[in-house]
Amino acid sequence: MKNAHPAIQAVYQEPERPPYSDRERNRIGLEQTTSPSLARALAVGCLSRLDQSLSSIDIWDPASGSGYAGHLLVEALRSVGVQVRYRGQDIDAAAVSASRQRFEGIPNVEFAVGNTLERDEFRDFSADLVIVDAPWGVSWASSASAVESRKSEGSFRFGLPQRSDSSWLFISLALEKLRPSAEGGGRAAALVTPSALSAGGATAALRRRIVEAGMLESVTRLPEGLAPNTSIPLYLLTFTNKAGEAGRGKAMVADLQTRFTADRWYRRMLDSAFQELESGMRTGKPGPRNRSIGVRQFIRRDARLSRAPSSGGKLSWRVMTYNDTMIDDRLLESRYGPGSGVVIDEEPSEIFDLDPSRLFVDDSGDLLKDLGAKGWANRRLSSFLASEPEAVKDAACEAHEGQVFIPTGRSGKVSTEPSSTESDGRVLSVQFDGDAVEPEFLAAWLNSEQGILSRRRAIDASSSGTHVKALRSDTKSLMRWADELIVPVPERGRQLALAAADEKLGSFQAELKSQRESIWASPEDAEEVVGKIANAFDDSLNAWFEQLPFPVASALWTAETATSLGGRVEAYFHAWEALVTFHATVLLSAGRSDPGRSAEVEVAIRQVLQDQHIGIERASFGTWVAILEGTSKYLRGALESGDPDEVARIRATFGDLSESAIERLISKDVVKKFKELNTKRNRWRGHGGHTSEEEQRAQVDSLISDLRELRLVLGSVWSQLLLVRAGSAKRVLGGYVQAAEVAVGTRSPFITREFEVGDAMLDGELYLVRDGSQSPLRLGRFVQLRAAPPNAQYTSYFYNRTEGASVRMVSYQYGPGSEVEDDAERFREVFGTLSAESAYKLERGHP
């Protein structure tokens, strides 16, 4: 379909009143009410491919609750002149009473009280549309007799699911209620929980029959926390029996997990998310968060594997594959290596698992790509074990040869000594079988950026729980964890060399600590001690500058190349102002991915600024520190919440950067370092009188030392997340290939690269991006690239202050005359609620 159904516009509009009043909530309970976001999702599912020539629509709602979802759909259709007949049924009499009040005055509406599973009160009614928002995870055991009786009479023709969950019974009835295909067919939209998508047994058999009948049209993952009474994850399923659409062997999958904002205590989906969902369903075209797949890609296989270690006995674990991947000898060789001794103990089972998550997210891709680039083989830890992993009960226990201790929390270090893990949580003991992997090498690698990614991925993949995941302590769970942990296996000589190098660098660190302590014992030797060590570090910062985004790298290079001592002090202070402005702008831009919550955060930051008698209108170093502190605290809270949707959203916001890299960007140590610099700046600049050359030299050395500490905190994050100026883009399957100038390092002009992205970047704007990012992070206009003075192609400008109708942008590459003006009106959205005046105008839509 080329154009959206006209009724969809009414669905996008904000509701005039909430779905329930306080009185209704107390009388019928939140479980009887569909939230606005879920009601809109059901409506989009129904309307996205609805025939626009139909002037009359019949709707059935088998678990109508308080009637909110049905009312939204009915009124949307009526708003464009469609005649609607609506029939709703619910087991709760109070809910039906509330529904009747909600629909009062609307013609052709009928409600009935009754258990839909046991009896259909509108047996002769056929529907064009069915919406299913039935109770989730509720047993139907009490209705078993009536259900089985109805089945014998011809209902529930797809079979009966397990009695623990009635979701597929309601869906079965919905599909049977649709107008026959020969008469035009119909569509159904349903909300279900993850267990309904993935459960085995009789439920899996029923699910398979529906999929193989060609009635499944789409599966969409929604954000958690949309329901008014639970935070359980929900999915939107759509079905059709319409001729020409059903039975094609294809289905659309979409992942809208990160497309939400928070309003006070509740979440709601972004308007753009509904528009994206409707477009994907209607056109069938792939996008950054949706694609069309063959239904066999839903197949999940499960088998028991085993291996006999050299010490005797047998290690056993289960492996699951997704995306119709076979469990055979080829898989075993790719996963465990040739001659691993891993065998398949039983014939693999297969079911249709409709959870689309595995089709969108798999952190192993970046990890395997990195290992492949080094020419290293990758294996699963399970292929090297001498015995099952065990929890360490005593950190003082004796370590044995071939043993490694691995923390399972988010902190701690892997070590060959149990007392050196620095973990306050659970630690697992792993004993290696043979010498294919050197324990010292593996311990060092697992503490690296990629190793931490592998550890976290294994914990997520092997943990249980839908909201907060946790790795259980039973042998089955720990063996699955070992089977999910990807480890590198370079040739043995390389392992030994890298382990020795890591140990040597560790000894250097210990020596540096010793030398640092020695200068207080012998102060007269301080310069000699520094002189011995300084040469090893002199060039390291210059190399780091070339990895940094151009706006800060160029400012640092200006400081590095300043000719006078006083000029260097001033230029380094300017470079630090560039650093704090850029970093705060990045985090502020990221925080605004959740417009509801970020507005609250920014109001709190504005109050902090007012209390300190500073503000965004005249941005000082302290202004940016306050913004940095407030936004980083909010982002840390989201990342550390354990909420998978929040974590996924934060990762998506930063261009799908790894958690560990994001943690570096938002760490308390970053905030602490910039606070320290602000203190130094105020102290040194507030000091009156003459500053001697010796004092200036000490200041330069101190500022450079601070840069080294900042580099240590940030690590290689800026080599992973690149600043680019976007160029032309071409549409490809699943997104775009876009040319962009890579604004990294100290010099311009920049090289141009192509990036695969989900959402296209605006031409000429600055973004932070990784190749393969779904949504590159657009940088706020507080930092800009503009035409430079005649001796360079570009220069960087940073927001400094507002003067009347103009804002002033300053450059730290050139002298005081390099300021430029911009229109303050263009900065209204950039200021957001940081500025009271901008917040007021934005709220009221003033020009």
Q: What is the pLDDT of residues 379-414, one digit of tens each?
A: 999 999 999 999 987 777 777 888 999 998 878 899
- What Rg, from alpha-carbon coordinates, does the chain have? 31
- Tokens found for residue 843: 């709220």
Q: What is the DSSP code (8-state) at residue 549? A: B
In single-letter form, the type of residue at position 626 comes to A
Please tell me the predicted confidence (pLDDT) of residue 31: 60
What are the φ and ψ backbone dihedral angles of 690, each rounded to 5 degrees? -80, 140
* Range name among 401-410, 460-469, 804-813 with the lowest pLDDT average: 460-469
Q: Which of 840, 834, 781, 841 is nearest to 599 (CA)?
A: 834
Q: Which of 719, 626, 640, 712 is nearest to 669 (CA)?
A: 712
- Give residue 204's region: left, alpha or beta (phi > 0; psi -120 to 50): alpha
Instruction: Give the integer Cα–Cα distance in Å for 257 and 234.
Output: 10
Query: How does pLDDT run across 556-611, given as a tens digit for each residue?
Result: 999 999 989 989 999 999 999 999 999 999 999 999 988 878 888 999 999 999 99
* 226 contacts 38 by C-beta, under 8 angstroms: yes
Instruction: Give the integer Cα–Cα distance in Å for 480 and 303.
Output: 12
User: SS3 for 237?
Assistant: strand
Please tell me the predicted confidence (pLDDT) of residue 645: 87
Hey, how many other C-beta atoms are within 10 angstroms of the C-beta on 704?
16
Residue 536 has pLDDT above 70, yes or no: no
Instruction: Give the integer Cα–Cα distance in Å for 683 and 706.
Output: 16
What are the φ and ψ backbone dihedral angles of 291, each rounded to 5 degrees? -160, 160
Question: According to DSSP H, which parts of 159-315 are helical?
Answer: 167-177, 194-198, 201-212, 271-283
Query: How does pLDDT run across 266-294, given as a tens digit for each residue?
Result: 788 999 999 999 999 999 888 888 999 99
Residue 34 has pLDDT above 90, yes or no: no
Please tell me the predicted confidence (pLDDT) of residue 30: 54
What's the Cα-to-Cα distance from 681 to each of 96, 700, 711, 815, rounded to whole Å?
68, 12, 20, 20
Let me know how many helices (H) and strands (E) the chain has, helices first. Answer: 30, 29
Please tell me the predicted confidence (pLDDT) of residue 108: 97
Please tell me the predicted confidence (pLDDT) of residue 320: 95
What's the Cα-to-Cα distance from 8 to each of 187, 271, 560, rounded to whole Å?
16, 12, 58
The burial class, CB within 10 Å (0-12 / 13-18 / 19+), for 117 is buried
In single-letter form, the type of residue at position 580 comes to V
Please tell me the predicted confidence (pLDDT) of residue 269: 92
Q: What does DSSP say about strands 216-221 and 250-255: parallel, antiparallel, or unpaired? A: parallel
* 742 contacts 722 by C-beta, under 8 angstroms: yes
Q: What is the mean pLDDT of residues 114-142?
A: 96
Q: What is the mean pLDDT of residues 203-227?
A: 95
Please tell me the predicted confidence (pLDDT) of residue 28: 56
Euclidean distance between the first and final Cα of the chain, in Å?
37
Instruction: Give the integer Cα–Cα distance in Å for 446 and 455.
Output: 7
Q: Which residue has the tokens 């960087």?
A: 796
Instruction: Give the integer Cα–Cα distance in Å for 196 and 233.
Output: 11
Q: What is the DSSP code (8-state) at residue 179? A: P
Hey, how many other C-beta atoms are within 10 angstroms of the C-beta on 520?
8
Name beta bridge partners: 818: none
Please tell me the predicted confidence (pLDDT) of residue 836: 72
Sign of torsion, CA 491 492 495 497? negative
Question: According to DSSP H, which parts of 296-414 are helical?
Answer: 329-336, 357-360, 364-373
Please tell me the predicted confidence (pLDDT) of residue 554: 94
Query: How does pLDDT run across 407-439, given as a tens digit for each residue?
Result: 988 788 999 999 889 888 889 999 999 889 999
Exposure class string for 166-193: b at 16+ Cβ within 10 A, else e: bbbbbbbbbbbbbbebeeebbbbbbbbb
Query: How does pLDDT run across 678-727, given as a tens digit for each residue?
Result: 999 999 876 666 788 999 999 999 999 999 999 999 999 999 999 999 99
Question: According to DSSP H, which parts of 522-620 are helical?
Answer: 526-534, 540-545, 550-560, 565-591, 595-611
CA-based angle 796:800:802, to the nearest 5? Answer: 130
In Å, how far from its chain's centre is CA 697? 45
What are the φ and ψ backbone dihedral angles of 294, each rounded to 5 degrees? -70, 140
Question: According to DSSP H, which parts of 404-524 are helical?
Answer: 439-446, 449-462, 475-484, 492-521
Q: Which of 376, 528, 506, 344 is nearest to 451 (CA)?
A: 376
Q: What is the mean pLDDT of residues 339-360?
A: 93
Higher-pLDDT residue of 508 and 576 is 576
Hey, how many other C-beta atoms are within 10 angstroms of the C-beta on 515?
15
Contacts of residue 613, Cβ cutoff 8 Å, sequence gap at least 6: none
Please tell me the predicted confidence (pLDDT) of residue 590: 95
* 62 contacts 89 by C-beta, under 8 angstroms: yes
User: SS3 for 347?
Assistant: coil
Average pLDDT of the residues of the chain: 90
What are the φ and ψ backbone dihedral angles of 243, each rounded to 5 degrees? -60, 135
Instruction: Give the integer Cα–Cα distance in Å for 580 and 84.
Output: 59
- Tokens found for residue 40: 């809109």
- Tokens found for residue 78: 């009526």
Q: What is the DSSP code (8-state) at residue 763? A: T
Residue 249 has pLDDT above 80, yes or no: yes
* 176 contacts 241 by C-beta, under 8 angstroms: no
Residue 842 has pLDDT above 60, yes or no: no
The model's confidence at residue 762, banded by pLDDT at 50, 70 and 90, is very high
Helix crossing, 668-686 with 621-639: angle to 10°? 170
What are the φ and ψ backbone dihedral angles of 17, each rounded to 5 degrees? -140, 160
- Tokens found for residue 270: 């972004």
Q: Which residue has the tokens 């382990």?
A: 499
In Å, how far from its chain's centre is CA 260? 11
Q: Which of 834, 846, 785, 779 is nearest to 811 (CA)?
A: 785
Instruction: Give the integer Cα–Cα distance in Å for 62 and 174.
Output: 8
Q: Which residue has the tokens 């050359």?
A: 693
Residue 844 has pLDDT above 70, yes or no: no
Higher-pLDDT residue of 543 and 106 is 106
* Range name among 36-40, 284-288, 430-434, 509-513 with the lowest pLDDT average: 509-513
The model's confidence at residue 18, banded by pLDDT at 50, 70 and 90, is low
User: SS3 for 603?
Assistant: helix
Residue 128 has pLDDT above 50, yes or no: yes
Name beta bridge partners: 844: none
Share of the chain above pLDDT 90, in %: 70
Please tell me the predicted confidence (pLDDT) of residue 595: 80
Give the 3-state secondary structure percentages of the chain, helix then strand then coil, rounded to 5: 45, 20, 35
> How many CA atoms are closer than 13 Å to the CA of 139, on its beta-carbon side?
5
> How many CA atoms are closer than 13 Å to the CA of 423, on its beta-carbon side?
25
Please tell me the predicted confidence (pLDDT) of residue 846: 47
Exposure class string for 423-445: b at 16+ Cβ within 10 A, else e: beeebbbbbbbeeebbbbbbbbb
* 794-803 β-sheet, strand order: 783-787, 794-803, 806-810, 820-823
What are the φ and ψ backbone dihedral angles of 306, each rounded to 5 degrees? -150, 165
* Range name among 211-215, 430-434, 518-522, 783-787 with the lowest pLDDT average: 518-522
* 217 contacts 238 by C-beta, under 8 angstroms: yes
What are the φ and ψ backbone dihedral angles of 465, each rounded to 5 degrees? 110, 145
Exposure class string for 257-286: b at 16+ Cβ within 10 A, else e: bbbbbbeeeebbbbeebbebbbbbbbbbeb
